[in-house]
Amino acid sequence: MTEAHLMTQATAPKPAKPHLPDAARVTQVTHWTDRLFSFRVERPQSLRFRSGEFVMIGLLDDLGKPLLRAYSIASPAWDEGLEFYSIKVPDGPLTSRLQHIGVGDEIILRPKPVGTLVHDALLPGKRIWFLATGTGIAPFASLMRDPETYEKYDQVIMMHTCREVAELEYGRQLVEALQDDPLIGEMVAGKLIYYPTTTREPFHHMGRVKDNLSSGKVFADLGLPPMDPAHDRAMVCGSLAFNVDVKAILESFGLREGANSDPKEYVVEKAFVGDGI
Ligand SMILES: Cc1cc2nc3c(=O)[nH]c(=O)nc-3n(C[C@H](O)[C@H](O)[C@H](O)COP(=O)(O)OP(=O)(O)OC[C@H]3O[C@@H](n4cnc5c(N)ncnc54)[C@H](O)[C@@H]3O)c2cc1C
Ligand SMILES: NC(=O)c1ccc[n+]([C@@H]2O[C@H](COP(=O)([O-])OP(=O)(O)OC[C@H]3O[C@@H](n4cnc5c(N)ncnc54)[C@H](OP(=O)(O)O)[C@@H]3O)[C@@H](O)[C@H]2O)c1
């Protein structure tokens, strides 16, 4: 998809619709491809979360019942708004509707953030690897914009793999904008390393995350040593098959899976339920 197809709608609020339970008003919608969009909503004043966590969001169904799904919060904890990055599943109960939201509409936002992709679930280290496919970049869109990430680590490596180049654009623009960010641009400079790859369309770097890790290609390309449990930490977010494969690679480097209650060297979260293959 070319730039001309990207459409950001940030003006001309629509007339208010009936008030939803736990309602949050939409303030911006951007369509990235015919399968991907992002949107921002007003943040309820009482909503506190740790960057990397997810919440339940949704709409009312035809019978007036809440239709809710898990969504990673893509904005950082300090942001006064909330951002989400979403798939459009053609027949998906929620996203076949959610993809049509506009500025001024309301969504349901359940105020109970949870999740494993949080700094508290990892032991201190030198480098952190964010490993994602598809919309699995959403929690890292939050963590890459959080100053704590750069306070805790000397190097932050974002590996994001999609089938096609256009599916990388949300992440690419986010990383580019971070370099000039007035709040954390200086912290990010020289620390954030972005390594996007495609698998089904030619691009300067190609290949699945697991293959680029197991072959050593990513370490060679970036001039980094192989992962070492003494220094490297990782967070993983993709389809079930991706998570299983990447866990095996991380374990082969000696990293162990951690949790909020038991911090170790890596943590994993599903980007969606379903095989995704
Ligand atoms: C912890 C967690 C966090 C999540 N965060 C996000 C997020 O930030 N953004 C997001 O778009 N989705 C996210 N999801 C998936 C989300 O909950 C819904 O599944 C998605 O919005 C589709 O909803 P649906 O009702 O339209 O279809 P569903 O009935 O939920 O899904 C139908 C099928 O579509 C496929 N699918 C669903 N979601 C995705 C996806 N994200 N990427 C590729 N294929 C998918 C699967 O094969 C699934 O079986 C998350 C899921 C979990 C468990
Ligand atoms: N993306 C599209 O254009 C498209 C279009 C129509 C329908 N869909 C459907 O939508 C669902 C999700 O598609 P998606 O593209 O968002 O997610 P996906 O199928 O999980 O693929 C996203 C990226 O992850 C890679 N990947 C998949 N499994 C992996 C594994 N085990 N280890 C490492 N990398 C892995 C893929 O590489 P590979 O390319 O090597 O698999 C691809 O680059 C799928 O059910 C798909 O059939 C997708």
Domain ranges of the chain: 3-114, 119-270
**Which residue reads 């904890």 in tokens?**
77
**Quick one: fold of 3-114?**
Elongation Factor Tu (Ef-tu); domain 3 (2.40.30)
Cα 238 to middle of ligand 1, angstroms: 10
Q: What local confidence, expressed as pLDDT, does residue 1 receive?
A: 41
Q: Which amino acid is at 186?
A: E
| Alpha-helical regions (H) of the chain | 95-98, 138-143, 147-152, 169-179, 185-188, 209-214, 217-222, 240-252
Classify strands 81-87 and 106-114 as parallel, antiparallel or unpaired: unpaired
- Ligand (nearest to CA of 273): 1
Output the six-digit token pair for 244: 């299983």
Q: What local confidence, expressed as pLDDT, does residue 276 receive?
A: 44
205 lines ligand 2 (CB under 6 A): no
The binding-site residues of ligand 1, defined as CB within 6 angstroms of any ligand atom, are 54, 69-72, 85-87, 89, 92-96, 134-135, 138, 269-274, 276
Q: What local confidence, expressed as pLDDT, does residue 3 receive?
A: 45
Output the six-digit token pair for 163: 């089938």
Ligand 1 atom 44, closest CA? 276
Which residues, in sequence order, are bridge partners of residue 7? 31
C-alpha span between 243 and 258 (Å, rounded)? 14
Output the six-digit token pair for 191: 């620390």
Residue by residue, pLDDT tens for the chain (277 residues) are 444 345 555 555 555 555 677 999 999 999 999 999 999 999 998 999 999 999 999 999 999 999 999 999 999 999 999 999 999 999 999 999 999 999 999 999 999 999 999 999 999 999 999 999 999 999 999 999 999 999 999 999 999 999 999 999 999 999 999 998 988 999 999 999 999 999 999 999 999 999 999 999 999 999 999 999 999 999 999 999 999 999 999 999 999 999 999 999 999 999 999 754 3
- Ligand (nearest to CA of 201): 2
Farthest CA pair distance, the chain: 56
C-alpha span between 172 and 193 (Å, rounded)? 12
Cα 139 to middle of ligand 1, angstroms: 14
- Kindly report the CATH number that applies to the domain delimited by 119-270: 3.40.50.80
134 lines ligand 2 (CB under 6 A): yes
Q: What local confidence, expressed as pLDDT, does residue 183 receive?
A: 85
Q: Which atom of ligand 1 is nearest to the CA of 70?
A: 17
- Ligand (nearest to CA of 245): 2
